[in-house]
Amino acid sequence: METSDLVEVAALEARCFADPWSKALFLAELEEREQNYPRVAVQGTRILGYLISWFVADEVHLGNIAVDPEQRSRGIARMLLEDLIHQAELRGSSYIVLEVRVGNESAIRLYRSYGFEDMALRRGYYQDNGEDALIMIRLMGAEA
């Protein structure tokens, strides 16, 4: 993800989420490249999806993943997630953790298919509607 992607990424974010991140939040993600890992999936010049994650000590936190609603079920989220898992392996991370809406069954299935397991429930986590978040974790390396 580059600064030139931000207008399109912010527009994609608004199509995907009821409480979208602002362009300024995405810009902040680009400013700390060593810790932050922002990625886009592109076809030609069009951004089809993106992923935001953070590498902190031996942990990876998957903060956000989104795919254009018109482009879903084409493996774009899988590609982005596989890239993140590969980066976690290269950097020697111990685990990847994320929060997902309990009602987002397709995302939960995706994460489980990559070895993520339920860790905890965070009640009322999402501010737009008070929905609970399922915290999921995937152990890496010898711990997996």
Alpha-carbon gap, residue 71 to 102, rounded angstroms: 22
Among 57, 44, 127, 62, residue whose Cα is nearest residue 94: 57
Q: What is the pTM of this model?
A: 0.88
Look up residue 74 and give its DSSP letter: S
The Cα angle at residue 39 between residues 63 and 101, in degrees rounded to 5: 30
- Per residue in 16-35, pLDDT (tens digit) is 887 778 777 788 787 776 78
Catalytic residue numbers? 99, 111
CA 47 to chain CA centroid, nearest Å: 15
Higher pLDDT, 116 or 73: 116
Confirm if 60 and 22 have CB atoms less than 8 A apart: no
